Amino acid sequence: MSVIKIDNLTKTYNETQVPVHAVNGISLTIEKGEFTAIVGPSGCGKTTLMNMIGGLEIPTSGNVVINGIEISKLKSNELINFRLNNIGFIFQSYNLIPVLTSKENVSFIMQLQNRPKDEIEKRTIQLLQSVGLGDKIDSKPNQMSGGEQQRVAVARALASKPKFVLADEPTANLDSKATTQLLNIMKKLNEEEHITFIFTTHDKRVVDKARRIITLEDGKVISDKEIS
């Protein structure tokens, strides 16, 4: 069952005199439960593609259909609401809310969804324990290491029970130990709970864990391999 269908997607930036075709006619399908890496050199269009899948940028042409909904047709607030309920985000620089504890960072998403208080409490603890941070629930981002912060970000991304998780260079700021820990957690969640992960990376260790590798160059897919 496909979660994401991308059809002839393009994104052209006209900020300079010479138009930049960041994404140039990409068509893809992502199935439920995939653990997919999007790789390629810097400037190949990975982040732009991720932003368009996540509804953060509007395509110049083509469309992104998520669970049957063409997201470029949604209005601004509908899109925000769609993201809240369907997509989990993990950012390169963690991007936690610095004034909230890890518990509050995770529960915040569910509060935005107006979930019952009991459910929020239970799921928050459960998620933080699943990423190995059961003892850090009251720590603020500045009291945690980069690896720990990124694991909170994973818990936050999963809090809304999204259809898939987009992770843009999730290990770029982590040391090897933290990278391994994070990958193991993501892999475990993917295998045991069938959560769909799509991530961009330059890191070979991350690529090695992926079951599908999509390689981009100059805004186009130059290879799309399934790893058995």
Binding residues for other proteins, rule: CB under 8 A, are 51, 54, 56-57, 76-77, 80-81, 83-85, 89, 91, 95, 97-100, 104, 107-109, 111-113, 156, 160
Rounded CA separation 13/9 (Å)? 14
Residue 90, strand partner residues: 167
Q: Which residues pair with 96 in a beta bridge?
A: none
On whether the CB atoms of residues 133 and 155 are closer than 8 A, the answer is yes
Nearer of residues 48 and 201 to other proteins, judged by Cβ: 48
Integer Cα distance of 203 and 114 in angstroms: 37
Q: From 159, 61, 23, 174, select the one nearest 104 (Cα to Cα).
A: 159
- Shortest reach from residue 201's CB to other proteins, in Å: 17
C-alpha 14: how far from chain center: 27
Which of residues 20 and 84 has its CB atom nearest to other proteins in the complex? 84
Closest separation between CB of residue 54 and other proteins, Å? 7
Strand duo 220-226 + 212-217: pairing? antiparallel
Return the SS3 of 209. Answer: helix
CB of 226 vs other proteins, minimal distance in Å: 29
Contact (Cβ atoms closer than 8 angstroms) between residue 35 and residue 226? no
- In angstroms, what is the minimal distance from the CB of 80 to other proteins? 5
Closer by beta carbon to other proteins, 75 or else 204: 75
Write down the least CB distance from residue 182 to other proteins, Å.
Answer: 18
Of residues 61 and 184, the one with the C-beta less far from other proteins: 61
Q: Is 15 exposed, middle or buried (0-12, 13-18, 19+ CB in 10 A)?
A: exposed
Task: Between 84 and 185, name the residue whose CB sits nearer to other proteins.
Answer: 84
Smaller CB separation from other proteins, 56 or 207: 56
Q: Which two tokens stand for residue 32?
A: 């439920």
* In the complex, least distance from residue 79 CB atom to other proteins, rounded to whole angstroms: 10
- Which helix (H) or strand (E) segment holds residue 40: the answer is none
